[in-house]
Amino acid sequence: MPRDQRPGKPVGNDAGRGRAAPAPRLVVARAVHAEGIRSIYNRAIETSTATFEMTPKTLPEQLEWIAEHSGAHPAVVAVDDGDSVFGFGSLSPYRPRPAYSTTVENSVYVDEAFQRRGIGRAILEELVRLAEAHGFHVVIARIAGDNDASVALHTACGFEMVGVEHEVGRKFGRWLDVVCMERLL
């Protein structure tokens, strides 16, 4: 059976805040998850500095993103049995120049209603496991300086602080620092 059609790993816990949810499981992202991913990501684009994207993604763009995130640079989703998406994460090439090819950059997003239930940690741990399994050497996280939740999540998953790029971004009329964190595999 192909990996993305297996039942997937159960994740998270029921002790968190927010709406009750069936225990999610982690699977490789497929086209059926595009709207769920898009909904979570577009909310982050429109309301937060978690992403430096400024324009909401269209469905065709989201489908293209899923198609690009396969093989060595996968995307994973935390879903229920009906393929509702609670969160997602991905590995992407860190830089286009060839000597960077052993490094990947991660991203992880969890639906606001389902945060603090262990879903983000499960997604990030799975991304680290996949990066190691795929032979990469370093996972980099580039995090907005005001994103304390993401810094805490990455710290909890064994990432170490590398440094801060000051005022390299601008969104909602203010300068944004970028905190760079790394995990060597």
By the criterion CB under 6 A, which residues form the site for ligand COA?
44, 50, 107-110, 115-121, 143, 147-150, 152-153, 156
Tell me the closest approach of the beta carbon of residue 84 to ligand COA, in angstroms: 15
Compare residues 44 and 63 and give the one whose CB is closer to ligand COA.
44
Compare residues 5 and 54 and give the one whose CB is closer to ligand COA.
54
Residues 6+ apart with CB under 8 A from 82: none
Tell me the closest approach of the beta carbon of residue 96 to ligand COA, in angstroms: 21
CB contact at 8 A, 165 and 180: yes
Compare residues 5 and 53 and give the one whose CB is closer to ligand COA.
53
Dihedral sign for Cα atoms in the order 20, 26, 32, 37: positive
DSSP helix/strand/coil, 169:
strand
Tell me the closest approach of the beta carbon of residue 70 to ligand COA, in angstroms: 21
Angle ∠(101,106,109) on CA atoms, nearest 5: 160
- Nearest residue by C-beta to ligand COA? 120
